[in-house]
Amino acid sequence: MRLWRWLADRWVMIVALLVLGYLALPILVVAALSFNRPSSRLSYDFNEFTVDNWRRPCATSDMCDAVVRSVQIGFLATVVATVLGTLMAFALVRHRFRGRSAINVLVFLSMATPELVMGTSLLALFVSAGVPQGFWTVVISHVVFCVSFVVVTVKARLAGMDRRLEEAAMDLYASEWQTFRRITLPLVLPGIVAAALLAFSLSFDDFIVTNFNAGTTVTFPMYVWGAAQRGIPPQVNVIGTAMFAVALLLVGLSSLRGRRARRTAAPVGQVEFGRDAGTR
């Protein structure tokens, strides 16, 4: 009886912990393997603890080249997709024009399209246009699928913004540009930053579309895919763990900032990480 009572009181918590464990387990395995000295090339057993992999992450030099290339591509694709997507979101939310609903559908279409289809069709496009595949075709194709996510994210933020704030700014002697710079941009910025982070992680991580359009260029996901045939070097786990740590750091910082902002002042309508965590 007491056990049942105990379970009844805590079952939500128990299920939540199990789900969280399920989600975290693969990451823990990667983190653990980054400290492993494998017994052979194709062995994934934990053999011996070492920090060598962390001390020399670029021991296999072509892997680090691939990482740098992926970061470059991710950065370029993110900048272009964020600028284009933000402009599109403003147009779609703020203006009524012919073909607006068609564009709304089109934006969703590119998210719904299977990556395989998008990869092959982009390849067909580049080949028929006579564009040689390589670094820049990868950037272009990443921009294509990132833009939709940026549009959707920024649109949500923009739609939740009170237009009267901009009217109030204009009423208080701010020109159109000053209104954008002082009111609109600061209020939409969290949405744009979220969109940029999303775009970067989508680009950095993409394999399928990239594989079709990369030519001889090798990105980090492509390197890992290739290495898996011959045995993955343990440094791959170092890169994976480091990426995860950076992401965790960013989320932590944003949460901390949000909490401080809430303590001194709760910005109206701002969505923050961990806002609902801890509520019962």
Partner 1 sequence: MTGMARDTPTGDLRLANLTRRFGTLTAVDDLSLTIAQGSFFALLGASGCGKTTTLRMIAGLDEPTSGQVLLGDRDIGRLRPYQRPVNTVFQSYALFPHLTVFENVAFGLRRRGIRPVDAEVNRMLSLVQLDGYGPRRPAQLSGGQQQRVALIRALVNRPQVLLLDEPLGALDLTLRRQMQIELKRIQTEVGITFVHVTHDQEEAMTMADTVAVMNAGGIEQLGAPADIYEFPATAFVANFLGRSNLLAAEAGGTSGGDVAVTAHGTRFSVPAGRSRADHGPVHLGVRPEKLNLVGSADQVPVGHQHVTGVVTDASYLGVSTQYLLRTGWGTELSVFAANTGTSARVAVGSEAVAYWDPRHAFLLPRDAVDTDPTASAPNEPVGASS
Instruction: Please report, as ranges, the residues that interact with partner 1 according to CB under 8 A.
Output: 162, 164-165, 167-175, 178, 182-183, 186-187, 264-270
Q: Which is nearer to partner 1, 62 or 176 (CB)?
A: 176
Nearest distance from residue 159's CB to partner 1, in Å? 16
**CB of 184: closest distance to partner 1 in angstroms?**
11
Shortest approach of partner 1 to residue 272 CB, angstroms? Answer: 13
Q: How far is the CB of 183 from partner 1 (least distance, A)?
A: 6
Cα distance between residue 8 and residue 251, in whole Å = 33
Interacting residues of 32 by C-beta distance below 8 A, sequence separation 6+: 46
Cα torsion angle, 123, 125, 131, 134, sign? negative
Q: Is 50 left (phi over 0), alpha (psi -120 to 50) or beta?
A: beta
Q: Nearer Cβ to partner 1, position 10 or 262?
A: 262
- CB closer to partner 1, 56 vs 262: 262
Tokens read off for 39: 């017994």
- Give 102 or 268: the residue with its C-beta nearer to partner 1: 268
Nearer to partner 1 by Cβ, of 24 and 189: the residue is 189
CA dist 203 → 57, 70, 166, 196 (Å): 22, 8, 34, 10
Min dist. Cβ of residue 46 to partner 1 (A): 49
Of 199, 213, 223, 215, whose CA–CA distance to 67 is shortest?
223
- The DSSP-derived string for 193-228 is HHHHHHHHHHHHH--HHHHHH-TT---HHHHHHHHH
Please say whether the beta carbons of 240 and 258 come within 8 A. no
| Closer residue to partner 1 (CB): 62 or 171 | 171
**Nearer to partner 1 (CB atom), residue 263 or residue 280:** 263
Shortest Cβ 266–partner 1 spacing (Å): 5
CA dihedral 234, 240, 245, 247 (to 10 degrees): 170
Q: How far is the CB of 169 from partner 1 (least distance, A)?
A: 7
